[in-house]
């Protein structure tokens, strides 16, 4: 396609760093075009948004995902050789392993059971401490729970929790956070690689049906098992996203502090409202700003040309706050999801598309179910919220509550063990 008549496009890399999540929505508001054209790190980029754009983006005939992931992201968040780097049949075969592990009522219920058991064991001890940081406590609880479920023995779960958080916290930045993430990944891959080798040699046992067992036994599209390093990468891609739910747990504390009526409603133990609360947390609070891929060939979107090999961006944060999709999008109101459940490609905090054939996160049901279980548990606690920095800067990727949400004088006002709520 001939782009020669288009004026030069300025590079937006610095603007992205300065504005973060707000960068693409701001650009979109300033154009009447159905796409946003820009350059990132010198490369032509075209940004899309909306449910139709989600379906366009996840069509492998249009956009390749695996080849678009930059090295720094692979070295921190996903890991080299991960399922995210694959396309076509290789991706579908490896993704099938994750789908068998992380979807279905029994798998979801199993994760929720183990995580909530750890929560119910841990929370009473908070009463004995002058203060707790919800983000940090949630990361430790989630680490213990998901490793228990996955059949992974852990000698130092607190250290592992810090490493798993570091991998997420440092993937989209330069400087100390990024290098902490790289060191955390190298440490964790080496540890899990040794565990996989021990299972393969028979000097360690993987519980039958566990994630560890499934990854060790998996065969790729070529019929070969995963080598220990790649198996370690994929085990981290089971446990790391689950531990990242601590971002949403801290956001839940933020939401309940700002909305006492929401807290009271959650205390009613209404399962439908708990699901709506989980959806609204994921819609309202910043998680992933956008996703990227590469145009597989010369494309056209709503009359706009997209040249082959251009970067194609899907604006997640902008779509989740689009007034054409959501009434009062900057108001936190779970009731919107009581009136109408979200469509598949409408609410996209963790991406969109068909998780069976595309790159959508296979653990999305687990995220929702964990928030359905932990949200009411948090609402049932009584605690003081001291003076602290509760801002959530949008120019920090990934964003998070600056203070981590500090709680003082925590009291367990009702029995900690609620009837576990999951997303049906």
Enumerate the known binding-site residues. Answer: 361
| Alpha helices (H) in 30-153, listed in sequence order | 51-57, 71-73, 88-102, 105-122, 134-150
Which residue ranges are tagged as binding site for heme? 361
Instruction: Give the Cα separation of 245 and 134 in Å (integer).
Output: 12
- From the CB of residue 176, how many other CB atoms can be counted at a distance below 10 Å? 9
Instruction: Give the Cα separation of 421 and 59 in Å (integer).
Output: 34
Which residues, in sequence order, are bridge partners of residue 36? 47
Residues whose CB is less than 8 angstroms from the CB of residue 287 and which lie 6 or more positions away in sequence, other chains included = 247, 248, 316, 317, 349, 350, 398, 399
Backbone angles phi and psi of 312, in degrees to 5: -120, 120
For the residues of 233-288, what is the DSSP string, one character each? HHHHHHHHHHHTHHHHHHHHHHHHHH-HHHHHHHTTT-HHHHHHHHHHHHHHS-S-
Instruction: Give the Cα separation of 71 and 60 in Å (integer).
Output: 21
The 3-state secondary structure of 345-362 reads CCCCECECCCCCCCCCCC
**43-48/311-315 β-pairing:** parallel
Nearest residue to 213 (alpha-carbon basis) of 150, 143, 146: 150
């Amino acid at each position: 396609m001939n782009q020669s008549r288009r004026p030069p496009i300025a590079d937006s890399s610095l603007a992205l760093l300065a504005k973060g999540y707000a960068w693409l929505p701001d650009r979109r508001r300033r154009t009447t075009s159905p796409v946003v054209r820009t350059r990132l790190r010198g490369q032509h980029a075209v940004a899309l948004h909306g449910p139709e754009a989600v379906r366009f983006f996840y069509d492998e005939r249009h956009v390749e995902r695996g080849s678009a992931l930059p090295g720094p992201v692979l070295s921190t968040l996903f890991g080299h050789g991960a399922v995210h780097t694959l396309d076509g049949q290789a991706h579908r075969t490896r993704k099938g392993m994750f789908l068998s592990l992380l979807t279905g009522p029994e798998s979801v219920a199993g994760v929720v059971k183990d995580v909530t058991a750890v929560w119910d064991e841990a929370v009473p001890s908070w009463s004995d401490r002058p203060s707790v940081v919800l983000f940090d406590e949630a990361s430790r609880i989630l680490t213990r729970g998901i490793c228990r479920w996955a059949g992974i023995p852990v000698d130092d779960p607190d250290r592992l929790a810090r490493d798993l958080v570091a991998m997420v916290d440092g993937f989209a930045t330069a400087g100390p956070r990024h290098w902490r993430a790289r060191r955390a990944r190298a440490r964790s891959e080496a540890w899990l690689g040794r565990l996989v080798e021990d299972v393969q040699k028979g000097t360690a046992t993987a519980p039958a049906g566990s994630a560890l067992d499934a990854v060790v036994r998996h065969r790729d599209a070529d019929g070969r098992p995963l080598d220990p390093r790649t198996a370690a990468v994929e085990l981290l891609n089971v446990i790391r996203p689950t531990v990242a739910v601590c971002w949403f747990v801290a956001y839940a504390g933020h939401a309940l502090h700002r909305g006492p009526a929401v807290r009271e409603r959650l205390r009613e133990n209404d399962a439908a409202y708990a699901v709506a609360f989980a959806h609204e947390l994921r819609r309202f609070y910043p998680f992933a700003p956008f996703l990227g891929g590469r145009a597989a060939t010369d494309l056209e979107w709503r009359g706009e040309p997209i040249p082959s090999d251009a970067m194609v961006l899907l604006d997640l944060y902008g779509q989740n706050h689009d007034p054409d999709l959501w009434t009062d999008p900057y108001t936190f109101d779970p009731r919107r999801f009581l009136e109408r459940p979200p469509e598949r490609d409408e609410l996209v905090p963790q991406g969109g598309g068909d998780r069976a054939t595309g790159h959508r996160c296979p653990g999305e049901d687990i995220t929702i179910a964990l928030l359905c279980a932990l949200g009411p548990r948090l609402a049932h606690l009584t605690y003081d919220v001291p003076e602290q920095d509760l801002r959530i800067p949008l120019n920090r990727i990934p964003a998070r509550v600056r203070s981590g949400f500090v709680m003082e004088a925590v009291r367990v006002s009702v029995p900690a063990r609620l009837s576990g709520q999951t997303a049906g």
